[in-house]
Structure 1
């Protein structure tokens, strides 16, 4: 899979047995295959209208099928396996547009989402049955198509005695609340707001594209958050929207970043001060979402995604959630960067078994079997 940061393809080779809460998952190998610079630039470009023309989307859909196929083959080689050893490939694809609010077109009203990376190409290049397009069934069943990882969170990370939150910080940040001993129907999950997307965009802006992220939050650590700009950011209407909710790149994408850069320029903020403010925005929006929309604060939070590596963000989040223990997926034996790829492997397994794997409390949908199958 590749997330909204569009930095490459995460591929996990997993041995899976069972289904539902009895599922057993063992990670055999994990790799991240960075996008070529030209591919990443095209992904970011077509994710914003009006650049996302039909000819560019059509071409990129098949190019990404090739890219994902090569990532799957590389992961299998890393595990010491051949394609003949694999029962299925589960591919989330690359989200380029996500419209979770029903949009009218004449007499029709529909939510929609678009993930690129043609699964037929993956199946043909690898010779392995491929399950893909997971979000479509949830939308067809009345949901928002996101977040989908909460099912894996419930399977892998629930605890019989302690309330837990699982906080992914990718391009977009999302939380799964797992009540102690809770059933799937009791799981609450939603997107909290921006993760790394605005930070990465600001770094690319200031560096002229030479840098793509603030390594470890080092630059932000030398700056000071600007209170007035932070208050302006926290007034974003998405943050007041009750769950289920799932923004796309559209909500916190290039237009919003341009507005932030204009605000920063008017206040003559340095790059470190703006990065500190944006880092504080991610932390504050996560903490605000917990207090507004979770049944109660969890005893502990498991952090995952690229934001886990940002020490400044982790420090700010700890300050915003006093008394809540912050841990990582690695503390639970799951590599922080591998979690979402593992989650889609699990969803692919449930698809073949005919088991609904969306979380109605996360997306607002009816239970649905997720994924479409392409044979090699």
Structure 2
């Protein structure tokens, strides 16, 4: 047997595995690095976050990602180069972080890398009859494995596509394993660039679990802040709180076929971008309203789409335990609006479930890697969008 395969086998067979989960989302605020201790698999999975850090991106690196991000037409040479550049940068951040934590690379068993999404193209968005669902994450796993010396699992979304899914959202798998509780219906709401949630029924029936994107979380607000205020995001909703809701603009923003599609569904900045906002402003004759009013309305837009989706699942008087994660949970206006729109829901964060909400997405990929290494596909039933598969390609460091 190849020595590297033997090493993979031996590490997968350990009773407790140290796995680094990595996440770099559409917000591009940095690389989330979560060092996790994982034992067992499936419904018996036991995971503990040992260390967590967000490795900061430089403005130059972030600009380079944006040059290839969510564009139908892009320099193909640049995409090719960024596949390697992102992986090399992530490897450097991992090595620096492990040194900072005084942890030797060889003591880590696996890395689970999401990569950087640069384009998401489900059929519902591209509308091209001859083509399948598509998505592309770059940041090559082989480069990370070689430069860290750690076996790396990456490119998780392609198996989901191959098995009939849309490549997203993948939270359904990790949420079910980490957060299901008998006797309690839960909603795991992640408000990243795009907002999505997972429904976890209290009867523990995996066949009833589903995860879906619902619309924009932070992406439109972040894009608008970057263009008009030269700020990466609206910290503490300072700008939005100075503005007022414009009902005409909100109505135009909500006028989109995506919101009428059945669950589960996926979307991204390929749809919800500044061009989308401009069209809505022109349609509603609101091109001259103040930038603060635009930001306030965009925040209401995100809250409205999230609340409408939860009501669609649980009724107008929705009663649910809603556990939040993602950057949007730090937006006080957005959270207040959600509480007003869903008065019978109880809003908490995954901190209440002993998982740092800022680390949750990175931890998810550590869980997915653990299932690929040590588990087996969970039977989610024969349902569209939730294929019962294990995910991730394996890269060996030698």
Q: What is the TM-score when the length of structure 1 is the normalising length?
A: 0.93
Q: How far did 1:74 drift? A: 3.2
Q: Which residue of 2 aligns with 1:187?
A: 209
Corresponding residue to 2:393 among 361, 372, 375:
372
Contact 1:138 1:363 in 2 (8 A): no
Tell whether the 8 Å contact from 1:95 to 1:114 is kept in structure 2 after alignment: yes
Contact 2:68 / 2:78 at 8 angstroms: preserved in 1?
Answer: yes
Deviates more, 1:357-366 or 1:135-144: 357-366
Cα contact 1:357–1:370 (8 A) shared by 2: no
CA-based RMSD: 2.2
CA deviation string 1:21-49 (max 9, x = no partner): 11011101111112221221122221233
Q: What is the aligned partner in structure 2 of residue 337 from structure 1?
A: 358
Q: Does the residue aligned with 2:24 lie in a helix, a strand or coil?
A: coil
Moved more, 45-54 or 111-120: 45-54
Q: Is 2:294 the partner of 1:274?
A: yes
| Partner-residue secondary structure (3-state), 1:109 | coil
How far 1:260 moved relative to its partner? 4.5
2:273 is aligned to 253
Among 18, 23, 31, the alignment partner of 1:9 is 31
2:42 corresponds to 1:20: yes
SS of 1:93's partner is strand
Alignment of 1:1-376 (within 5 A): 1-101=23-123, 108-207=130-229, 210-260=230-280, 262=282, 266-294=286-314, 297-356=318-377, 364-376=385-397
Cα distance in 2 between the residues matched to 1:123 and 1:89: 8
Deviation at 1:249? 1.9
- Inter-partner Cα distance in structure 2 for 1:206 and 1:360: 46
Measured against aligned partners, the alpha-carbon deviations of 1:26-79 in whole angstroms (never above 9, x if no partner) come to: 101111112221221122221233552211100111000012212322343344
When residues 204 and 189 of structure 1 are mapped into structure 2, their CA distance, relative to the original with a 3 A threshold, is same
**For 2:198 and 2:227, how far apart are their aligned partners in 1?**
32
Q: Per-residue CA shift, 1:105-128, capped at 9, x if unaligned?
A: 89x532111001011100000001
> How many pairs align?
373
Aligned in 2, Cα 1:291/1:341: closer, same or farther, shift over 3 Å? same
Conserved? CA contact 2:171–2:211, under 8 Å:
no
Q: 1:362 to 1:324 in 2, by over 3 A?
A: farther
Say which is worse superposed, 146-155 or 39-48, in terms of deviation.
39-48
- Counterpart contact for 2:105–2:150, Cα < 8 Å: yes
1:86 touches 1:128 (CA, 8 Å); kept in 2? yes
Shift of 1:303: 0.7
Unaligned runs of 5+ in 2: 1-22
Distance 1:75 1:265, change over 3 A: farther
**For 1:276, what is the secondary structure of its paired residue?**
helix
Q: Secondary structure at the match of 2:188?
A: strand
Are the aligned partners of 1:13 and 1:75 in contact in 2 as well (CA < 8 Å)?
no
CA contact (8 A) 1:138 1:145 kept: yes
Range 56-65 or range 182-191, more displaced: 182-191
Which secondary structure does the structure 2 equivalent of 1:94 belong to? strand
Give the deviation of 1:259 after TM superposition: 2.8
Other-structure match for 2:5: none
- Shifted more, 345-354 versus 264-273: the winner is 264-273
Q: TM-score, normalised by structure 2?
A: 0.88
What's the CA shift for 1:290? Answer: 1.3
